[in-house]
């Protein structure tokens, strides 16, 4: 049985859908309350609040069955700020004792090191590495300070980095961080269209390729292997990712002939072929199949989309929350199973209840 097919995964997904935090981890309500007290929900981050981002990263790591300390490090992973963002919920000097008292010495030390180390160098070296760094890593920041990472720290920070990257990435960040991790510093006024938040909100076209290269090291490191990229054994070419994103977006924006569903369905099928690691093209295909009364095809796409959402713990198309996409996937699967779908526009608005 695949980890994502385990009944306990369904229970965990349901707990995240219902915000049943104590069922996920008895200490999670206190951690979230602490984050609220430190303004996490009132600080901005990419496509939502900083609290949303931290919690989303934690959800991914939890569904990936990572050790509890790694998941909690994901929940707190940028609270001292880092070289990318100014988000110090705790002062990196005076605030360490405060956080240490709340979460314990080991977890606080892990969070502080992840915030302090040169993250861009970490990503750049691992993305280019031909083999996993089984002996650890030595990094140097811009001031020449040396950071020696043990193999276990490399593993924890790598899986956290993959989750952190994928949780936040969409077109606005891709444009402002163009070429990441080799990001330059282009003038904002001349590139005003890239700065205009939130932008068109299309899925990114580069981060999953990078994530697949980083994740490829995880199978050799001493952590549970996340259920992404076929157990972290496959990589996604950036050209394929970009083409799949463009095809999906073309259909989503209705920039296709509308006299029949043949063209959009073929574009989505090609998007799936190029990038089989994201759920949303499958869910659009499931909806087209339901409209045509092709219930078996609809069921196959709905179940594959749902499986991918459960594997990742995050959505690719961030116009809708992960929770919204999971529930919609279940709705599509339910209607495929019942061999029904609304035949009038008005009745589409009646959809809602997911049955036990």
Q: How confident is the model at residue 2, as a pLDDT?
A: 60
**For 259-270, what is the mean pLDDT?**
96
pTM of the model: 0.96
Task: Report which of 28, 30, 80 is spatially closest to residue 55, judged by C-alpha positions.
Answer: 28
Residue 101: pLDDT over 60: yes
d(CA 348, CA 80): 46
State the average pLDDT for the chain.
Answer: 96
pLDDT digits (tens, 9 = 90+) for 194-218: 999 999 999 999 999 999 999 999 9
The tens digit of pLDDT for each residue in 128-185 reads 999 999 999 999 998 999 999 999 999 999 999 999 999 999 999 999 999 999 988 8
190 vs 6: CA distance, rounded Å: 51
What local confidence, expressed as pLDDT, does residue 217 receive? 97
pLDDT at 343 over 80: yes
Beta carbons within 8 Å of 345's beta carbon, 6+ residues apart: none
- Determine phi and psi for 307, rounding to 5 degrees: -60, -45
Write the pLDDT tens digit of every residue in 126-136: 999 999 999 99
What mean pLDDT comes out for the span 290-303?
Answer: 98
Rounded to whole angstroms, the maximal C-alpha distance in the chain is 65
Class of the domain covering 1-10+20-178? mainly alpha
User: Where are the chain's structural domains?
Assistant: 1-10+20-178
DSSP state of 202: P
What does DSSP assign to residue 355? P
pLDDT over 90 at 54, yes or no: yes
| pLDDT at residue number 7 | 64
**pLDDT, mean of residues 66-88:** 95
């Amino acid at each position: 049985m695949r980890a994502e097919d385990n009944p306990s995964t369904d229970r965990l997904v349901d707990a995240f859908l219902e915000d049943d935090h104590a069922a996920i981890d008895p200490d999670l309500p206190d951690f979230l309350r602490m984050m609220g007290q430190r303004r996490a929900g009132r600080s901005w981050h990419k496509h939502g609040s900083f609290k949303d981002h931290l919690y989303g990263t934690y959800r991914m790591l939890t569904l990936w069955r990572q050790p509890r300390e790694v998941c909690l490090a994901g929940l707190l992973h940028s609270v001292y700020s880092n070289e990318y963002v100014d988000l110090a919920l705790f002062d990196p000097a005076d605030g360490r004792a405060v956080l240490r008292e709340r979460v314990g010495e080991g977890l606080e030390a892990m969070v502080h090191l992840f915030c302090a180390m040169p993250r861009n160098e970490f990503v750049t070296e691992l993305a280019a590495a031909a083999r996993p760094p089984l002996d650890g890593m030595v990094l140097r920041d811009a001031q020449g300070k040396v950071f020696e990472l043990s193999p276990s720290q490399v593993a924890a920070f790598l899986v956290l980095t993959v989750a952190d990257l994928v949780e936040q990435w969409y077109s606005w960040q891709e444009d402002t961080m163009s070429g990441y991790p080799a990001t330059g510093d282009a003038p904002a006024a001349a590139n005003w269209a890239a700065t205009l938040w939130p932008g068109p909100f299309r899925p990114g076209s580069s981060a999953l390729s990078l994530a697949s290269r980083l994740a490829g090291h995880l199978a050799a490191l001493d952590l549970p292997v996340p259920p992404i990229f076929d157990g972290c054994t496959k990589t996604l070419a950036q050209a394929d990712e970009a083409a799949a994103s463009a095809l999906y977006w073309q259909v989503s924006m209705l920039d296709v002939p509308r006299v029949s569903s043949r063209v959009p369905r073929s574009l989505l099928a090609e998007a799936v072929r190029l990038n089989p690691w994201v759920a949303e093209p499958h869910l659009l295909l499931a909806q087209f199949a339901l409209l045509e009364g092709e219930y078996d095809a609809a069921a196959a796409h709905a179940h594959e989309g749902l499986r991918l959402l459960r594997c990742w713990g995050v959505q690719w198309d961030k116009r809708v929350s992960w929770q919204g996409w999971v529930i919609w996937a279940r709705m599509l699967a339910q209607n495929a199973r019942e061999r029904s779908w609304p035949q009038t526009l008005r009745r589409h608005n009646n959809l809602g209840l997911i049955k036990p």
